[in-house]
Amino acid sequence: MIKVGIVGGTGYTGVELLRLLAAHPQVQLTAITSRKEDGMPVADMFPSLRGHVDLAFATPEKAKLAECDVVFFATPHGVAMAQARELLAAGVKVIDLAADFRLKDPAEFEKWYAMPHSCTDLLEEAVYGLPEVNREAIRKARLIGLPGCYPTSMQLGFAPLLAQGKPLVNEASLIADCKSGVSGAGRKAEVHTLLAEAADNFKAYGVKGHRHLPETTQGLQAIAGGRKVGLTFVPHLVPMIRGIHSTLYATILPEARDTDFQSLYENHFKGEKFVDVMPAGSHPETRSVRASNKLRIAIHRPGGGDLLVILVVEDNLVKGAAGQGVQCMNIMFGIDETAGLMHIPVLP
Amino acid sequence: MIKVGIVGGTGYTGVELLRLLAAHPQVQLTAITSRKEDGMPVADMFPSLRGHVDLAFATPEKAKLAECDVVFFATPHGVAMAQARELLAAGVKVIDLAADFRLKDPAEFEKWYAMPHSCTDLLEEAVYGLPEVNREAIRKARLIGLPGCYPTSMQLGFAPLLAQGKPLVNEASLIADCKSGVSGAGRKAEVHTLLAEAADNFKAYGVKGHRHLPETTQGLQAIAGGRKVGLTFVPHLVPMIRGIHSTLYATILPEARDTDFQSLYENHFKGEKFVDVMPAGSHPETRSVRASNKLRIAIHRPGGGDLLVILVVEDNLVKGAAGQGVQCMNIMFGIDETAGLMHIPVLP
Amino acid sequence: MIKVGIVGGTGYTGVELLRLLAAHPQVQLTAITSRKEDGMPVADMFPSLRGHVDLAFATPEKAKLAECDVVFFATPHGVAMAQARELLAAGVKVIDLAADFRLKDPAEFEKWYAMPHSCTDLLEEAVYGLPEVNREAIRKARLIGLPGCYPTSMQLGFAPLLAQGKPLVNEASLIADCKSGVSGAGRKAEVHTLLAEAADNFKAYGVKGHRHLPETTQGLQAIAGGRKVGLTFVPHLVPMIRGIHSTLYATILPEARDTDFQSLYENHFKGEKFVDVMPAGSHPETRSVRASNKLRIAIHRPGGGDLLVILVVEDNLVKGAAGQGVQCMNIMFGIDETAGLMHIPVLP
Amino acid sequence: MIKVGIVGGTGYTGVELLRLLAAHPQVQLTAITSRKEDGMPVADMFPSLRGHVDLAFATPEKAKLAECDVVFFATPHGVAMAQARELLAAGVKVIDLAADFRLKDPAEFEKWYAMPHSCTDLLEEAVYGLPEVNREAIRKARLIGLPGCYPTSMQLGFAPLLAQGKPLVNEASLIADCKSGVSGAGRKAEVHTLLAEAADNFKAYGVKGHRHLPETTQGLQAIAGGRKVGLTFVPHLVPMIRGIHSTLYATILPEARDTDFQSLYENHFKGEKFVDVMPAGSHPETRSVRASNKLRIAIHRPGGGDLLVILVVEDNLVKGAAGQGVQCMNIMFGIDETAGLMHIPVLP
């Protein structure tokens, strides 16, 4: 059994980790920390876990994280970077769900997250936890920076186009029009995500620049073998709880007009257990992946023209966060990559 | 034109007052206060008011409330009681949407609102602003304590039963099973009313005792001519923005079994512009009063038995708050009671 | 492996059965019928099942139901009664999710379902599939009539009160104020359950008399050892997908005032894996059981008075339908009652 | 008073027309037809209209539409074209909310609406009812084909860019990523718009080609003075009742890089009462126009690059349908264009 600790289990990615890990056949939930809720049974805060999780929150001191095999950080940005070094030194693997180990350039981190990076020495070692792109590196990793929810959908959605030896689309002007459920904003007391504000409503936000942009650009360029990629990313808030729908636009280059994009995508993701390339003409719904680690993609070329429209759906809390974290953990510990992750989506 | 000031316009009852008053043909919006947002145009906070409200928030000092004809308090409990005396002295009428002037007994106020009452001398003068019960007193009032949202629906729903010379139902054991949209909790940064918490979810709360209970009991007893009334009140949170649906239960006394309750209700509310007694067998929907000052009632007697089931719907922000305030204002200033209040409900 | 067939898999209880059974460790999904969709892969209709269910719909003829060990009917009322006799004769067990085998009195069936009962000879043999009440009978049953969604919550909620040797509450005037998500109305093209009709809205319906009333009264009387029970049942429609919240009211008899109702409930359901009696003072939320077979109960006695308020939540598609069906199947086949049913609720 | 008739008042655009017209100071609602509901008071179908609309549905024969000054068609495609000729001959003006008189080319109509056009002789006379583009033509019109909901937002959103003497953006590859509330699908019994299907869910649809594409392209080309325009239009379904949010993308031509687009938009819509160009950097929300005839626009140029991102919101049932119809009527009858249309948006 893999002994797992969780730092910061009071948010949505934390409770989702608990849901997945408590039912994972090869995991023993060992510790969960919260300074504020020290002593409180986890199931008192989340009654959905009554009968499934006996653990109580504990301070980091009491939690003895150093005795775990792996520790997940489901914390605000800045927490993992302060504790990772010590855990790694104690032989504990670390998977951070926040942004601390996503960006390779600490200046970029400081620019977008408005805090200095306090653990730059680990940035090079840290592996970006997107298994469909980085599986081999993850296998050997001690430290994982998990992708953000939007970036997962954008990178996997564009990957087959960019991963070829030469450009197929105009890589300088990709567009990602993304829509997210409200849980993406976290379990924080804020006015703009109240039901009375966000329900029966729709809006864009952060058009000027969103934190997930530099991470996605970095990832897309890596997929493109280092070629420069230009991306416009427009996030929107959807009055629903879970789910991301990314509508991606790419202009086909004249020399690539004859490409069979459906086959390109099917071949690229052949054998992937968590990526489903749907039949041509499909319109994936976010609910078709609700509460599961699946990501579904459909390829369109309206009117047979030069604009590709790629539709991607994922559950932002699973494939976009906790599920991807468990997937990385499975790979890192050499067990079946799908262990504890084969939940059938909940529909309706 | 009636010169109107609003203290505390940044919450839901405040913005609803603005929506109603900005379109009121006999009102001139004169001042709106917010210490925190001093100088900010109201329409910057609520873009829905762009082009309709030019006012900016001002500190109470700048706002010159003493020059208004009437001031509405859309503030947390405790604010109106601190300022009412001075405004009344300056000849300004006061309408409080909070609880400061609802309860006649200051000990009850202190018990339920966890603060001492600082203006007990005005409690006797204050009129409970439920026009369908208290119209004549409102006409002469200088100071109004507006009913809460739940209490409005419960009192008007039970009123025809209790307002008779002798009891028709078991007045010792009335039940009100009430359901409210989330805007009833106000525009406050809190976790439990986040969309990701409250959507696709339903729960009761405050079963042990809710602040609206003593106010409602006091009102029902007044309607019953002083007879003692026992009420069990169970509020629930509905994943919707606006609307209250109260399902009321009362056991018919043996001697009242032959009463024609449908006629009783129709006669009781005859001529009322904002109370609609629907045909027997109706099931009123909250959306049928959305954004309007109407309250609809339907009477049921399942299986012809001894239990009356009374269904009541209202918009908690209109008839349950801001609209009822405007209705009181119209009465106090001797203008048409329906002025500025005849909006047709928005459906769908 | 238990060979399972499903008749009518295109509705919500059907797709929920598929979700549960496809992941059940001791089940082999063998056949699913739909005359209309003959030949269509199930996963084409429900993309959430892509990669989990390979079956295609087939006509009853092709489906060879007689070779199954058990057949579930997730069909409109009237279908199971026409096919049950033949299947039983072939040695196949039958579990009906519709109402055909719930009511013992065929006249009652005809009155409430507006069709004659065509299989009255099996009514006596049929077992009402509520394991926490009827476990032993279910173990030996060949034919199960599964409870409706509302009746499950009402019966389990009132059971501990009624199951005593003498009455504790006024059994002549129980009240159940129930609230259900929209999936309870089924996957049928109808106007009143459109999102644009039912969202941001709340209403009661069927106050005059709902089909779940006779079934619940019959069940409650059985639990009360034959004593007569009077119930007023008022269902409401909640703008959410899944979940039932039943708020139950019962008046404590003078001689039972000293009862410790919390202990009564805890003892009654001791050892039950799917019934969770929460700590005193709790307010269970529907989402705390979302997508799971759990039912949670909390007991209140507001103001220490004579009215008990019992709060019950369940997922109408799981414990209120498909999950309860699988639970019965597990019992009937002598395997672990929780097999395939230990999903952790999905929150948020 | 303008005598107004409505053909087909049982859908969402019909009931919205009723809401707007019943409160219009210069309108007398004279007739409303429905063959199916002949004799039924309108307020029985829509209780929100109780106390505001006394009219009953009538057959077209009884309704005496020829005595009206203007008749609105809130009907399925194909109805207006069958009745318009006769009404016009009787001197009645006609405003069609469906698609019968939108497309100038009957072959295009037949291709997208799968029925032949039976009134091609009126196509040339018919005026496209988009006042901010066609005001003078509307003033003289007898017959109006009102724009669709999506096309209104797309045309007004792109108009300032295209209405210049020379191209500012790459007009061959405009993108409109549009999101609509579910009421846009109409009040029709269908499975895919049930709350249990569409809530807590998000999806694209019609990516291959949507009926609003040819109409929009035709309109954009007219605005561009006849220049050819290429548009990719991707509609999405949002789990909300009302509202459209269109996110528009246009690539700035090198020679137009120095344009001040904010000023361009502000000048273009100067004096327009129903178009609000918001301050630079704004993110308009659909609820900020809920139940009103306003359309709000915000201009973005992320990173100062060459891609313009234009955000547009409208209420699909008001500015996208019924409200725009009333606006056209006001213009046609020479009264104040804003009469009956100055409702303040309902927020929250």
pLDDT above 90 for D58: yes
> In this structure, which topology does domain D2-125 adopt according to CATH?
Rossmann fold (3.40.50)
Regarding predicted confidence, which is higher, B217 or D61? B217
pLDDT of residue B117: 96
**Rounded (5°) CA angle D73-D79-D80:** 50
The structure tokens listed for D15 are 């009931």
pLDDT band at A89 (very low <50, low <70, confident <90, very high): very high
Cβ D133 vs Cβ D160: under 8 Å: no
The stretch C196-217 carries a mean pLDDT of 97
pLDDT of residue B60: 87
Strands (E), chain A: 2-7, 27-33, 70-73, 93-96, 127-128, 143-145, 174-180, 203-204, 231-237, 244-251, 275-277, 295-300, 307-314
- Tens digits of pLDDT across chain B (348 residues): 999 999 998 999 999 999 999 999 999 999 999 989 999 999 999 999 999 999 999 998 899 999 999 999 999 999 999 999 999 999 999 999 999 999 999 999 999 999 999 999 999 999 999 999 999 999 999 999 999 999 999 999 999 999 999 999 999 999 999 999 999 999 999 999 999 999 999 999 999 999 999 999 999 999 999 999 999 999 999 999 999 999 999 999 999 999 999 999 999 999 999 999 999 999 999 999 999 999 999 999 999 999 999 999 999 999 999 999 999 999 999 999 999 999 999 999
Cis peptide leading into D239, omega within 30 of 0? no
pLDDT of residue B61: 87
The structure tokens listed for D52 are 């505001």
Sequence ranges of the domains in chain A: 2-125, 150-316
The stretch D74-101 carries a mean pLDDT of 97
Check B68, B149, B178, B328 and give the catalytic one. B149
Cβ D29 vs Cβ D19: under 8 Å: no
B344 and D52: CB-CB below 8 Å? yes
Kindly report, residue by residue over C88-132, the tens digit of the pLDDT.
Answer: 999 999 999 999 999 999 999 999 999 999 999 999 999 999 999
D47 and B344: CB-CB below 8 Å? no
The closest CB to that of D202, out of A175, A199, A245, belongs to: A245
pLDDT of residue A209: 93
Cβ C248 vs Cβ C176: under 8 Å: yes
In chain B, residues with a C-beta closer than 8 Å to the C-beta of C216 are none
Q: What is the pTM of this model?
A: 0.98
What single-letter DSSP state applies at residue C41? B
Whole-angstrom distance, CA of residue C343 vs CA of residue A292:
12
C195 and D198: CB-CB below 8 Å? yes
pLDDT band at D129 (very low <50, low <70, confident <90, very high): very high
C240 and D199: CB-CB below 8 Å? yes
pLDDT above 90 for D79: yes
Is 3.30.420.10 the CATH number for D150-315?
A: no
> In this structure, which topology does domain A150-316 adopt according to CATH?
Dihydrodipicolinate Reductase; domain 2 (3.30.360)
Give A297's strand partners: A277, A312
Kindly report, residue by residue over D234-289, the tens digit of the pLDDT.
Answer: 999 999 999 999 999 999 999 999 999 999 999 999 999 999 999 999 999 999 99
Choices 3.40.109.10, 3.30.530.20, 3.40.50.720, 3.40.50.1820: CATH for C2-146+321-332: 3.40.50.720
What three-state secondary structure class fits B145? strand
The percent of residues above 90 in pLDDT, for chain A, comes to 98
The stretch A330-346 carries a mean pLDDT of 98
Looking only at the bridges linking them, the beta strands covering A2-7 and D127-128 are: unpaired
D48 and B200: CB-CB below 8 Å? no
In chain C, residues with a C-beta closer than 8 Å to the C-beta of A19 are 344, 346-347
Distance from CA of B200 to the nearest CA of D (A): 8
pLDDT above 90 for C60: no
Kindly report, residue by residue over A221-248, the tens digit of the pLDDT.
Answer: 999 999 999 999 999 999 999 999 999 9
The stretch D207-227 carries a mean pLDDT of 97
Interface pTM, i.e. ipTM: 0.97
What class, spelled out in words, does domain C150-314 have in CATH?
A: alpha beta
The structure tokens listed for D97 are 């909310």
Cis peptide leading into D348, omega within 30 of 0? yes
Which 3-state string (H, E, C) describes B35-76?
Answer: CCCCCCEHHHHCHHHCCCCCCECECHHHHCHHHCCEEEECCC
Distance from CA of A13 to the nearest CA of B (A): 13
| Mean of the per-residue pLDDT values of chain D | 97
Kindly report, residue by residue over D329-341, the tens digit of the pLDDT.
Answer: 999 999 999 999 9
pLDDT band at D61 (very low <50, low <70, confident <90, very high): confident
Check D68, D119, D149, D328 and give the catalytic one. D149
Kindly report, residue by residue over A113-166, the tens digit of the pLDDT.
Answer: 999 999 999 999 999 999 999 999 999 999 999 999 999 999 999 999 999 999
pLDDT of residue C61: 86
Distance from CA of A67 to the nearest CA of D (A): 40
Instruction: For residue D182, give the chain C residue with the closest CA.
Output: C196
The H or E element spanning position A200 is none
Instruction: For residue B201, give the chain A residue with the closest CA.
Output: A241
Kindly report, residue by residue over A287-315, the tens digit of the pLDDT.
Answer: 999 999 999 999 999 999 999 999 999 99
| Mean of the per-residue pLDDT values of chain C | 97
The stretch D94-110 carries a mean pLDDT of 97
The closest CB to that of C243, out of B202, B283, B306, belongs to: B202
Residues 6+ apart with CB under 8 A from B220: B154, B155, B158, B162, B174, B229, B231
Q: With CA atoms as reference, report the closest residue to A138 among A274, A294, A333.
A: A333
The stretch C154-163 carries a mean pLDDT of 98
